Structure 1
C-alpha cells in the first residue's frame, strides 16, 4: 500500500481520536512544522515536545502562536495513542509508556518503536516533505509552513534531489508566498547564544587530516549542532561535543561536506553505542549521545571515522 493510502486509512480510523503528536527532543522547524500541519487533520490531538526546542522550532511556535505541551507532563492513560513525528529513536523521544500508533519520518535506520503504521521515506529531504506527500488536502498556510521545513532541513538544499525540488516548488506555488518569505521562516536569525557558541567553537577548534579529509574538532557549552554546521563550511568533517550537566551525558553533532563519501549516520550510530548511548541521523548531518567527557567523545569520533575511511 502506498504511503498516501496508508495515511488515508489511518486518518479514517483516528481522525477524531484524542492523540498526542510528539516530536523529538530539541525539536527543530521540520519537526514542529510537521506536527502543526498534522494537527489540523486530527482536531482532538495535542502537540507534545520532550525537554527542549531548537531556536528555529521556537521561532515557528511563537510566530504562529502554536500551543504545545511538554511530553513528560502528559499521562498516556489520557490519550488513545501517540503519533511520532520526525523520529523513531527512543533516546530522542522517550515514549516507552506510550502506545505508538503512527511513525512519520525521513531518517535512516530501523525504527525503535513498534507502531500500527509506519510511513518512512529515507529519500525525502525532510519530514515536512513526507507530510506533504501523504496529506489528502492542504491549505495555503500548511503549504507555506511545509515548504519552509524542507528548506530548513535540507540546509538550504545542500541535500537535494529532483523529488525534493519538485515537492518544494509545488508547495511554494500552493502557498502563494515568495521564496524570500519562505526563506525568512526557514532560516530565522540565530540568537546571540548560538552566535557565541559558534565563536567559542572556533576559538577551541583542533583539526587533523584523515584519508584526505580535513576533520575539525571542538567543544561548546550549548548549540553544538549550529557550531558543527558552521565548522563544516570550511572543514570536510566537523565533530562538536557538549557535555550536558543536567542530563549527565555528552552530545556530539557531526556534519560533513558533500565531497565526503563517509556516511555520518553510520559513524555516529557506532560512536553512540560505544559510549553507552545511541546515535544516527543523515549521511551528512548526524549526532550521538553517551556517557563520556567531551574530549573522550571526540576521540571516539576520530577513532570510528579512521576505521571507515
Structure 2
C-alpha cells in the first residue's frame, strides 16, 4: 500500500484522534531510523501516546533522543497494552522483531509504516504504508508533508539523522534521498549537515568494553567458506551480532553471517557486499525463506538483514550459509 489521498486521509483521522492512545512501536534494538521516524509521528500526535520499544533501542538511537533535549515518553520492555488504542509499527517488516505483540488481535487498529522488503502478512493491517525508500524517515517526511503539519527544527534534525544512518552516510542514497535531506536542512538554519554526521559517528567510535570483547570473540570464532569469487564467513557471539557482521563485511568478507543465542531465542545478522547485491543476491529474501523453515521471522534489506527465531542458532546460521551457496550457484557468480 503506497501513499495516496485516501490513505493519508485515514491516517490523519487516526493520528488526530484524541480518544484513543497511540503506541509507536519500534523493532528489536531499534536503530536511529526507527526511533527518529517514531519520534516525528509521536510529536505531531495529541496525547495520550508513547514510543514503545519492547526489545530495547540502540545506544545510538538513545543518544539521539538525549541530543534532542525534548521530553518523550519512551518505554522499553514489556508493558500492558490498552485494547482500545491505535498501534503503529515503525520500520519493521517482521513481527518477530517486536516481541510478543498481539498482531492478529490488533489488525483493525494497526498501522504499519516501513521501507524494507514487503511482507504480504502486513497487508491485512488497517493501513500498511510501504514505500521503496532508503529509510523509513523519508516515508515519514512525505507523510508529514501530505498531512500539512508543521515540521520543527527537532523533527527535521531527527529525520535527517535517521536518513544518514540508514543510508550508511549516503552510501546507499538515491537522488530522491538527497533531495529530501536538502529540504529538511531548510528547517535547520544554524546546523550544518557535516555536524549532524559527525555527531552520529562519534558514539560508534567509543566502543564500550563489552562490544570490543564481543567483536574480538566474533573474529576468534569465525570460520569461512571460499567459493572462488565469494568469501562467506560465519561466527557466533553473545551479543552485538549486527556490529560483528558489519565489521566483517567491511574488512574481509563478501558475506558475513553472525548468530547469537539467548536462552531459546536465536538471532542472526547478515551483511552482504554491494557488488553481490548488484549481481542479484538479496539477504532479505534469503533470511525470510530460512526463517520460515524455523517458524521465525526474517527480512531487512538486500545488503543487510536478519532472523529472529526460537531454536538452535547454529542450525539456522548453517541453513543461511546453505541458501547463500545455492543462490550463488544459481546466479552463476
Normalising by structure 2, we get a TM-score of 0.85
Aligned positions of 1:36-185 closer than 5 A: 36-44=39-47, 45-64=49-68, 65-70=71-76, 72-77=78-83, 79-93=84-98, 94-96=101-103, 97-99=105-107, 100-113=109-122, 114-121=124-131, 123-135=132-144, 136=148, 137-176=150-189, 177-185=191-199
Alpha-carbon offset, residue 294 of structure 1: 3.5
Aligned match of 1:16: 17
Matches within 5 A, 1:191-270: 191-192=207-208, 193-210=210-227, 212-234=229-251, 235-245=253-263, 248-260=264-276, 261=279, 262-270=281-289
Q: Higher helix proportion, which one?
A: 2
Distance 2:2 2:268 in 1: 36
Q: Deviations over 1:93-124 (max 9, x none)?
A: 22324354321110112253432222111x21
Partner of residue 33, structure 1: 36
Distance 2:271 2:283 in 1: 7
CA distance in 2, matches of 1:34, 1:87: 12
How big is the alpha-carbon RMSD for the aligned residues of Structure 1 and Structure 2?
2.1
Give unmatched runs, 5+ long, in structure 2: 329-333
SS at match of 1:232: helix
Q: Could you say which structure has the greater relative contact order, defined with CA pairs below 8 angstroms and 6 or more residues apart?
A: 2
**How many residues align structurally?**
305
Note closer, same or farther for the CA distance 1:2–1:24 as it changes in structure 2 (3 Å cut). closer
Normalised TM-score (structure 1): 0.91
